[in-house]
A and B are shown apart, each in its own frame.
Chain A
Amino acid sequence: MDDSDELVKEFVTECNDYLDQLDRDILALERSPSDQEVRDSVFRAIHTIKGNCGYLGLSKLEAVAHAGESLLSRVREGEIAVTSDVVSVMLRVIDAVRVVVGHVEANGSEGEEDHAPLIRLISDLQKTGRIAAEQHAAVPTEDVAPRGPESTIRVDVDLLDKLMSLVGELVLSRNQILQFATTPDGAALAAVSQHLNLITSELQERVMKTRMQPIATVWSKFPRLVRDLTNELGKLVRIEMEGRETELDKTIIEAIKDPLTHLVRNAVDHGLEEPATRVGAGKAAEGRLLLRAYHEGGQVIIEIADDGGGIDIEGVKKRSIERGLLTPQQAVRLGDREVAELIFTPGFSTAAKVTSVSGRGVGMDVVKTHISKIGGTIDIQTTRGAGTTFRVKIPLTLAIIPALIVSSAKQRFAIPQVNLVELVLLEGEAAVRGLETVHGAPVYRLRGDLLPLVFLNAEFGDEQPDWRPAPGAPVNIIVLQADDQLFGLVVDEINDTQEIVVKPLQKRLKDIPLYAGATVMGDGRVQLILDVLGIAHRAHVLGRIHDTGSETKDGASDADGDLAALLLVQTEDNGRGAIPLSLVARLEEFPRSAIELVGGRKVVQYRQEILPLIDLRDALPERRLEPRSVAETNGGEVARVVVYSELGRSMGIIVPNIIDIVEERLEILSDTTRAGVSGCAVIQERVTELLDVQGMIRAADPSFFDRKRDAATAQG
Chain B
Amino acid sequence: MATEAQLCTFFLGPHYFGVDVLGVQEVIRYQEMTPVPLAPVEIRGLINLRGQIVMAIDLRLRLGLPEREPGALPMNVVLTTDEGPVSLLVDAIGDVMQVDESRFAAAPETLEGLSRDLILGVYKLEEQLLLVLDTDGVISQGLVPGDDAGDGAQNSTSTPNSLPLPRPLESRYDDVQESS
Quick check: B173 and A363 within 8 Å, CB to CB?
yes
Quick check: A520 and B51 within 8 Å, CB to CB?
yes
Quick check: A512 and B38 within 8 Å, CB to CB?
yes
From B165, B166, B174, B180, give the contact of A346 (CB < 8 A): B180
Interchain nearest-CB distance for B165 vs A (Å): 6
Q: For the complex, is B25 an interface residue (Cβ under 8 Å from A)?
A: no
Q: For the complex, is A645 an interface residue (Cβ under 8 Å from B)?
A: no
Contact bitstring A493-536, B, C-beta under 8 A = 1, else 0:
00000000011111111111111111110001111100111100
Quick check: A508 and B142 within 8 Å, CB to CB?
yes
Closest to A362 in B: B174
Interface band, chain B: 35 or more
Contact bitstring A589-631, B, C-beta under 8 A = 1, else 0:
0000000000000000000000000000000000000000000
Q: Considering the chains assembled together, what is the distance between the CA atoms of A461 and B148 in angstroms?
A: 11
Collect the chain A residues with CB atoms within 8 Å of residue B72's CB. Answer: none
Closest to B38 in A: A512
Collect the chain B residues with CB atoms within 8 Å of residue A369's CB. Answer: 160, 180
Collect the chain B residues with CB atoms within 8 Å of residue A509's CB. Answer: 36, 39, 43, 55
Interchain nearest-CB distance for B38 vs A (Å): 5
Interface stretch, picked from B1-9, B102-110, B118-126, B150-158, is: B150-158
Q: For the complex, is B130 an interface residue (Cβ under 8 Å from A)?
A: no
Quick one: given A350-B177, A508-B142, are A373 and B53 in contact (CB under 8 Å)? no
Quick check: A366 and B180 within 8 Å, CB to CB?
yes
Q: For the complex, is A416 an interface residue (Cβ under 8 Å from B)?
A: yes
Contact bitstring B34-74, A, C-beta under 8 A = 1, else 0:
11111110010111101111010000000000000000000
From A363, A419, A524, give the contact of B161 (CB < 8 A): A419
Quick check: B55 and A506 within 8 Å, CB to CB?
yes
Quick one: given A508-B142, A528-B36, are A538 and B163 in contact (CB under 8 Å)? no
Collect the chain A residues with CB atoms within 8 Å of residue B151's CB. Answer: 513, 538
Q: Considering the chains assembled together, what is the distance between the CA atoms of A373 and B160 in angstroms?
A: 5
Q: Considering the chains assembled together, what is the distance between the CA atoms of A418 and B50 in angstroms?
A: 28
Interface stretch, picked from A251-259, A549-557, A674-682, is: A251-259
Interchain nearest-CB distance for B73 vs A (Å): 17
Beyond A370-B169, A508-B40, A513-B155, 20 additional contacts (C-beta under 8 Å) are: A165-B51, A168-B51, A259-B169, A368-B160, A411-B37, A482-B161, A483-B161, A507-B83, A511-B146, A512-B152, A513-B148, A516-B163, A517-B163, A525-B32, A526-B46, A528-B46, A531-B162, A533-B160, A533-B161, A534-B159
A residues contacting B by CB (< 8 A) are 165, 168-169, 172, 251-252, 254-255, 257-259, 262, 346, 350-351, 362-363, 365-370, 372-375, 395, 398, 401, 409, 411, 416, 418-419, 460-461, 482-483, 502-520, 524-528, 531-534, 537-538
> 25 A-B contacts, Cβ less than 8 Å apart?
A165-B51, A168-B51, A169-B50, A346-B177, A350-B177, A363-B177, A373-B169, A374-B164, A401-B164, A419-B161, A483-B160, A502-B165, A504-B163, A508-B39, A511-B152, A511-B156, A512-B146, A512-B152, A520-B51, A525-B32, A525-B34, A525-B48, A533-B159, A533-B162, A538-B155
